């Protein structure tokens, strides 16, 4: 079918059993206002029936001048055709997404009155945790005590997520993956996790140490996965971190400057899946903290695995 083909309009609603898939697209603008974005969305709604698509929501970030539309459509080219016919701004990327994953990454999706100007960023900070030596806990402690330790770990992590606005995306067995609308909230969560686990070690006498890695970015880039490059980088930083430490990407570090956190430069490292070396930083969470500590010890390294 060509880009101007007419499709049957899919049923309304978010039901996961609907056969029509979900798509998210990306638009890059210059000088667009929230009112402009709201008017463009209204134009999309006016033509959606002609192309068998349903525009459900959008995120507009005024500072970054990016917009992301959430659409139900039979195919990605139907999304492009609807945009072309409505206001002429064709997205740079259109990717098919999983509804459950989207809701996990974005948290609660707010329904706005069509035509209502608003600004809501789709930028997210992704956090991974990984517990050291989880597979050997049963051998060292026995089934009952190992289960108590694992439950205590999960409780501490989830309490920190809840307190700092994080959404659990998935449990990885040895840890979890979470998304935050705020860089500050993500770092505060990581610091709380490390401090609470250290306090638990003092209480129980059973050391539980966790690696944490974080990255930040937008949901649709050149990669054909929702938050693909951001997730991959956060996972790589988590695997590279020492037990009990927190490593963050350059983007997280830059957005957190002046927010009261202390960082140590860890230099540029080569990570699998990334063409260029990546600047990384360690979040220092154990007192005493000082500016001298934060700027000391730049290192270089590579990660082949």
> CATH number for the domain including 282?
3.30.70.1230
CA torsion sign, 261 to 264 to 267 to 271?
negative
Does residue 16 form part of some domain?
no
Q: Is the pLDDT of residue 149 over 80?
A: no
- What pLDDT does 291 receive? 46
Whether 214 contacts 186, CB under 8 Å: yes
Q: What whole-number distance in Å separates Cα of residue 42 and Cα of residue 117?
A: 11
* Helical ranges in 164-290 per DSSP H: 183-204, 228-240, 250-256
What is the value of pTM for the model shown?
A: 0.84
Residue at which a domain ends, from 52, 74, 106: 106
Clarify whether residues 262 and 134 are in a common domain. yes
Lowest mean per-residue pLDDT among 60-64, 198-202, 253-257, 297-301: 297-301
**Secondary structure of residue 268 in the 3-state scheme:** strand
Quickly list H helices, the chain: 34-51, 76-86, 99-106, 137-141, 143-163, 183-204, 228-240, 250-256, 291-295
Inside any domain, residue 180: yes
Average pLDDT, the chain: 85
Asked if residue 303 has pLDDT above 60, the reply is no
CATH number at residue 66: 3.30.70.3090
What is the pLDDT at residue 50?
96
Alpha carbon distances (Å) from 251 to 54, 67, 108, 123 = 34, 19, 24, 11
Q: Are residues 146 and 251 in the same domain?
A: yes
User: In Å, how far are 9, 166, 228, 262 from 186, measured between CA atoms?
Assistant: 40, 7, 18, 14
Please answer whether residues 237 and 215 qualify as being in contact, where contact means their C-beta atoms are separated by less than 8 angstroms.
yes
Q: Is the pLDDT of residue 305 over 80?
A: no
199 and 290 together in one domain: yes
Q: How does residue 172 score in pLDDT terms, banded at 50, 70 and 90? A: confident
* Structural domain boundaries, residue 203: 124-303
Does residue 44 contact residue 34 with C-beta atoms inside 8 Å? no
Confidence (pLDDT) at 131:
87
* More confident of the two residues 185 and 10: 185
Both 98 and 159 in one domain: the answer is no
Q: Is the peptide bond before 288 cis (omega within 30 degrees of 0)?
A: yes
Whether residue 284 is found in the same domain as residue 218: yes
Give the model's pLDDT for residue 94.
95
- The answer to whether the CB of 126 falls within 8 A of the CB of 177 is yes
Query: Is 145 found in the same domain as 235?
Result: yes
SS3 content of the chain, % helix, strand, coil (to 5): 35, 25, 40
For the chain, percent of residues with pLDDT exceeding 90:
63
Is pLDDT at 104 greater than 50 in this prediction? yes
Asked whether 152 and 131 are in contact (CB, 8 A), the reply is no
54, pLDDT greater than 80: yes
pLDDT band at 18 (very low <50, low <70, confident <90, very high): low
């Amino acid at each position: 079918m060509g880009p101007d083909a007419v499709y049957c309009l899919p049923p309304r609603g978010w039901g996961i059993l609907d056969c029509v898939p979900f798509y998210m697209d990306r638009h890059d603008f210059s000088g667009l206002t929230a009112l402009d974005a709201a008017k463009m969305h209204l134009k999309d709604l006016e033509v959606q029936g002609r192309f068998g698509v349903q525009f459900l929501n959008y995120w507009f970030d005024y500072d970054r001048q990016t917009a992301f539309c959430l659409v139900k459509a039979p195919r990605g080219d139907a999304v492009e055709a609807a945009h072309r016919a409505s206001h002429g701004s064709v997205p740079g990327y259109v990717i098919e997404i999983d509804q459950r994953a989207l809701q996990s990454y974005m948290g609660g999706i707010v329904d706005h009155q069509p035509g209502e100007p608003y600004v809501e960023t789709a930028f997210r900070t992704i956090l991974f945790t990984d517990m050291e030596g989880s597979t050997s806990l049963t051998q060292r402690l026995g089934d009952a005590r190992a289960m108590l330790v694992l439950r205590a770990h999960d409780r501490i992590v989830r309490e920190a997520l809840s307190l700092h606005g994080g959404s659990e995306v998935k449990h990885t067995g040895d840890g979890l993956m979470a998304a935050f609308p705020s860089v500050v909230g993500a770092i505060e969560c990581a610091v709380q996790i490390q401090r609470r686990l250290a306090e638990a070690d003092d209480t129980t006498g059973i050391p539980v140490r966790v690696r944490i890695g974080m990255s930040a970015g937008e949901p649709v880039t050149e990669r054909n996965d929702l938050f693909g490059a951001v997730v991959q980088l956060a996972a790589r930083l988590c695997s590279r971190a020492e037990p009990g430490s927190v490593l963050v990407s350059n983007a997280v570090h830059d957005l957190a400057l002046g927010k009261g956190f202390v960082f140590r430069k860890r230099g540029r490292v080569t990570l699998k899946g990334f063409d260029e070396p990546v600047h990384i930083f360690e979040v220092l969470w154990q007192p005493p903290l000082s500016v001298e500590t934060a700027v000391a010890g730049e290192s270089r390294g590579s990660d082949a695995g």
